[in-house]
Structure 1
C-alpha cells in the first residue's frame, strides 16, 4: 500500500491507475444497470432512447463525474473534508452527501442479501412456479406498510454475512481491500454476465425480445419525460454527486490521469448497461415465446420485480437453469457488493478524516451501526415497503438536491469551476475546455431542477405507491430531513484528524494558491 504524505497529510492511495478505474467501475456498475436500464429504455422509446441517453451521458454524466474527480483529487479528502477545504460553510454539503451514502447503504445491503439468498435458491429453483408469491410472502414474509419488529431469518442471516464482508474490506483499506476486491470482482462480473448474455441471445424468441427493446419509437424524442428519464438513468447509474467519486478520487495518486480514467469508467458503465439490456430482453423474449404472448404483455420489467419475480420464472424455463440462475444472481451479488463498498468507504473515510480514528476502528464502527440499522429496518416483515419508500425519497429527492447544490455552489456561488477545470487539465491528457463549465453550471442543473420539481410534486400530490401518508412522511421525507439535520450537526465539532483542513496546500499549485497559509503549511511532496 502506498501513502500520500503532504502538508501534514497521510492518505491511503490506490497502488496503480487500473486499481482506481476498477474501483470506480465497481461503484458505477450496480444493481440499477441490470434491473433499471433495460426497463427504462423499453418504456422510453426503445432504440430511440439511446439518443437522449447518449446526450445525457455527454452533457451531464461525464461532466459531473469530472467535477467529483476534481474536488476529491485536488482537495484530498472525502466530501466533508474536501468541501471544508474549499470553503468552511460548505462542509455541511459534504455531510449531507455522506448522510445519503449512509441511508442508501443500509437498505442497499438488504437487496444484496436477497440476491445472495436467490443465488442458493437457483440450484433447486426453490421459488417454484409462483415466483411472485414466493418472493413476497414465502421469502420476505411481507405483510403491509408499517413498523414491524418481526425478523425474517432468511433475510437477516445473509444480511449479517454482507455486513461482515463489508467490515473486512473496509478494515483492509484502499489498496489491500477495495482495490484488490474490485480488480478480481469486476472482470469476473463482466465474464459471468457475458456468458449469460451469450446464452440468452441463442434462446428461441430472443430476437423478439431484442426487437421489443431496440425498435425505435421516434415520437418519444419529443416527450420531455423521456429526456428526464435519460438524465435520471445516467445520473444514478454513474454514482455521481453524492460523495462516492469524491472519496475515490481523493485516494488516487497525485500524478494521475483523471479525465482519461473518467472516460473509461463512464463508457464501461454504459457498455455494461447495454450488455444488460441485451441479456435481459433476450431472456424476456424467450419467456414470452414460451408463454406464447408478446413481450409487452409481460409484467415486472424493471426493478426488484424483474430480478426476483420475472427472472426466476425465466430461469426455470431455460435449459441448464441452475447454472444460469447462479450466473445471474451471482452477478447481482457482485455488482451490488462493489457498489455497497463504495458507499461505505465514503462514510467510513469521512469519519476517519474528521475524528482521526484508525481505519479499523472506523470500519468496525460504521459496519456495526449500519448493520444493526439495516437488520432492524429491512429484515423485518415490513422491510420491503420501508426499503421501497426510503429508496425513492433518498434518490429522487436527496441525491438530486445534492447534485443541484454542488453544481450551483461550486460554479456560481464560489466561482471555483475554472480552478477545478485547470486542476484536471494539469494532471490529465484529455483537456477540458470552458464548455465544461457550461455543462456542469447550466445544462446539468437545469435538467436536475426539472427532475426534482417533477418528482417532488408527484410524491406531494399523489403520494407514493398508495402507502399511508404517515408512512411516507416518516420513512420517506423523514430520511431526507434526518440527513439534512445530521449535515448541520456534524459540521459543528472541531476537526481532530491528522489532515488539518485549514493548513492544506493543493497540488499541483495553481497561480491563485496561497502558499504558507497557516503555521504548519508547507509545499506538498509526492511519494
Structure 2
C-alpha cells in the first residue's frame, strides 16, 4: 500500500462481555436527569397519571430509537461519524459529527455540575449554607454575577472543576475496558446501594407519605393536555441518552456475535426504574420539608434541576436528623451519576476523533480533552457560569439533540431506506426480534413526535426569551451554540480520513428481505475474512 493510500481502520476496542456493556450503558443513561428532572416533571404533569404517557413514550420512542442506535453502531462498527458514513455516506457522516459537536457542548458544562455535586458532597459534612441554602449557592459558592460573561474566577468552583476534568480524562485515557468499563463496574453498584439507603431513610421521615401522595396522586385530566405527552417523550428521550452518539458508540464496542435487543430492554427498564426510585426518594424528602414548614408540598419552590439539587435539598438536609449523612448520600449519588454520564458523553467525542484522524486514545484524551477542559474552566469557573450553563443546556438538549434525532431517522430510514437491513441485523443476532412494528415506530411515529417537539420548542424560544434572559445574549450563546455545532460538523466532514472508512463489510450478511444467512455459511465466512482484512474487527 502506498503512502498516499489510506490505511484500514484500526482494530476496535471491545467490552469484556455483556455485563460490562449493560452496566456501562446504564451508567450513561442514569444521570442528573433521573435524579433532579424526572420527579419534578412527573409532579407538574399529572402526578401518578404521568406514568401512563411516560410508559407509552418509553415503549414507542425510547426503546425503538435505542435499538436504532444499537443497530447502527454495532452493524457498522464505528463511532457516530464512522458508522453513519458507512450507512449513509457523507450526509450520514455530517449527522454523526453534529452528534459529536452536541456532546462537546454538553461535556463542557456537564463537568461544571459534576464539580458542584462533588463540592456539595464535601460540604455535607459541615453544612456551611446554614439556614440560607439559596443565598449560599448563588452568593458565597458561585459568587454569581449579573454580567453575561466575566473572567473573574471563583476558586471554590475552579479547583473542583479542574479535579473532575483530571479524573475524567484519566479514566478515558485508560481505555474502554480498563477505564470506562472498570469505572462503571465500581460506580454503578455504589450508586444503586447509596441511593437505596437514601430512599429508605427518606421514607422514614415524618411527612414522607404526604410527599408521595403529592407525586403519585393521579390527575387524569392532565392527559388531555398535549404538553403532558410532549413532556413524557422529552423525559424518556433525554434520560436514555439516545440520538447523540452515546449508545451508537457503546454498541460499536460489542463483540460481533452479540445479543443486542435484550440488553437494550435491560438498560431501558433499569433507567426507568431508577427514575421512579428517584421520584420516591425526592418526594418523600420534600414531604418532610413541607411538614417541617407547616405547608403543603404544592407550596414548595425549586422542585427541578439546579434549584432542587443545590438550593432545596441543602435546606432540607439542614433541618433533618442525621443531615450530614443524608446529604453525603444524596450528593455522593449525584456525583457518581454525573461522572458515569460525563464519561459516556466524552467517549463519543474521542471515539469520533480517533476513528477519523487515527490518533491514539491518550492523545485524544489528554490533547483534545485538555482543550475542552480549558474552555470549560473559562466559561464555568467564573462568576457568570450559571447563566451560560443554563442557556447552553437548554439549546443543546431541546434543539440540538431533538434535531439530530429527526434528521438521523429521516436520513437512515426514509432516504437511505435502511430499515430492513437494521431490523434484520438486530433480529439475526438477538433473542428479542424486531420487525414491522419497530420499523413503524422509528420511521413514522418517532420523527413525527420529535418533529412536533422541535417545532414547538423553536416557536416557544422565539416567542418569549428563555428564563427572561436578554434576547441578545440568548442569540449569541443559545442559537450561537447550535450554529457552531452545525459549522463544526461541516468542517469535520470535509476533512480527510486518516484511514479508509469505507473498507468494511457489515456482519452478518443479509439478503434483500433482511434475513441472515446461517452462521456457518460461505457468505458468513467471507464476511468474517473481509472484516479481518479490513482491520475492522
Q: TM-score, normalised by structure 1?
A: 0.96
Counterpart contact for 1:166–1:367, Cα < 8 Å: no
Judge conservation of contact 2:260–2:426 (CA < 8 Å) in 1: yes
Q: Deviations over 1:491-524 (max 9, x none)?
A: 1111104xx211100111222599999x987677
> SS of 1:12's equivalent?
coil
Per-residue displacement from partner, 1:123-156 (whole Å, max 9, x unpaired)? 0111111111110111001122511111111111
Cα deviations by residue, 1:276-329 (Å, 9 ceiling, x for unpaired):
000000000001000000000000000000000000011111211111110100
- 1:215-234 paired onto structure 2 within 5 Å: 215-234=217-236
Query: 2:402 aligned to 394, 400, 403, which one?
Result: 400
- Separation of aligned partners in 1, 2:474 and 2:283: 33
Cα distance, 1:276–1:143 mapped onto 2, change above 3 Å: same
Aligned to 1:118: 120
- How far is the alpha carbon of 1:474 from its aligned partner? 0.9
1:456 to partner: Cα distance: 0.6
The aligned residue for residue 88 of structure 1 is: 89
CA distance in 2, matches of 1:493, 1:126: 51
Partner of 1:3: none
Contact 1:29 1:339 in 2 (8 A): yes
1:271-286 aligned within 5 A = 271-286=273-288
- Confirm or deny: 8 A CA contact 2:14 2:176 kept in the other structure: yes
Does the CA contact (< 8 Å) of 1:505 and 1:514 recur in 2?
no
2:486 corresponding residue in structure 1:
484
Contact 1:139 1:154 in 2 (8 A): yes
SS in 2 for 1:473: helix
Tell me the residue number matched to 2:298: 296
- Partners of 2:489 and 2:534 lie apart in 1 by 30
Match of 1:13, SS?
coil
Q: 1:428 aligns with which of 427, 430, 437?
A: 430
Show structure 1 runs of 5+ residues with no match. 1-6
Distance in 2 between residues matched to 1:322 and 1:505, nearest whole Å? 56
**Contact kept? 1:116, 1:329, Cα under 8 Å:** yes
Q: 2:359 aligns with which of 357, 360, 370?
A: 357
- Which runs of structure 1 show a deviation greater than 3 angstroms over 4 or more consecutive aligned residues? 512-517, 519-527
Aligned pairs (5 A) from 1:83-482? 83-89=84-90, 90-482=92-484
Count of aligned residue pairs for this structure pair: 519
CA distance in 2, matches of 1:262, 1:268: 10
| Between 464-473 and 270-279, the greater mean CA deviation after superposition | 464-473
Matched, 1:502 2:520: no
Which whole-Å deviations, capped at 9, do the CAs of 1:319-357 have from their partners, x for residues lacking one? 111111101000000000000000001101111000000
Tell me the secondary structure at the aligned position of residue 381 of structure 1. coil
Is 1:45 aligned with 2:16?
A: no
Partner Cα separation in structure 2 for residue 372 and residue 452 of structure 1: 32
The answer (yes or no) to whether the contact 2:28–2:341 under 8 Å persists in 1 is: yes
Q: Tell me, what secondary structure is at the counterpart of 2:13?
A: strand
Contact 1:145 1:471 in 2 (8 A): no
Sort the Cα spacing of 1:202 and 1:444 in 2 relative to 1 into closer, same or farther, 3 A: same
Distance apart, 1:233 and its partner CA: 0.2
Moved more, 83-92 or 202-211: 83-92
Q: 1:84 Cα shift? A: 0.9
Once the 2 structures are TM-superposed, how far is the Cα of residue 8 of structure 1 from its aligned partner? 5.5
Residues in 2 aligned to 1:328 and 1:355: alpha-carbon distance in whole angstroms: 41
**Structure 1 residue 366: Cα displacement:** 2.5
Asked whether the 8 Å contact 1:14–1:179 carries over to 2, the reply is yes
Q: 1:511 to 1:148 in 2, by over 3 A?
A: same
**Paired residue secondary structure (2:218):** coil
- CA distance 1:54–1:180, change in 2 (3 Å): same
Alpha-carbon deviations, 1:109-135, whole Å to 9, x = none? 000000011001110111111111110
Residue 145 of structure 1 contacts residue 467 of structure 1 at CA under 8 Å; is this kept in 2? no
Distance in 1 (CA, whole Å) between partners of 2:418 and 2:98 is 20
Give the corresponding residue for 1:24. 25
* Cα distance in 2 between the residues matched to 1:260 and 1:365: 37
1:87 Cα offset (Å): 2.4
CA distance change for structure 1 residues 208 and 197 in 2, over 3 Å: closer, same or farther?
same
Kept in 2: contact 1:393–1:476 (CA 8 A): yes
The 1:193–1:510 alpha-carbon spacing in structure 2 relative to 1, beyond 3 Å, is: same
Greater Cα offset, 365-374 or 350-359: 365-374
- Residue number in structure 1 paired with 2:519: none
- Is the deviation greater in 143-152 or in 13-22? 143-152
Cα RMSD (Å) of the superposition?
A: 1.9
Whether the 8 Å contact between 2:34 and 2:278 is mirrored in structure 1 is yes
- In 2: Cα distance, 1:282 partner to 1:31 partner: 18
* Aligned match of 2:76: 75
User: Whole-Å Cα distance in 2 between the matches of residues 8 and 322 of structure 1?
Assistant: 51
> Contact between 1:515 and 1:522, CA under 8 Å: does it hold in 2?
no
Q: Distance in 2 between matches of 1:263 and 1:129?
A: 44
Aligned residue for 1:490, secondary structure, equals helix
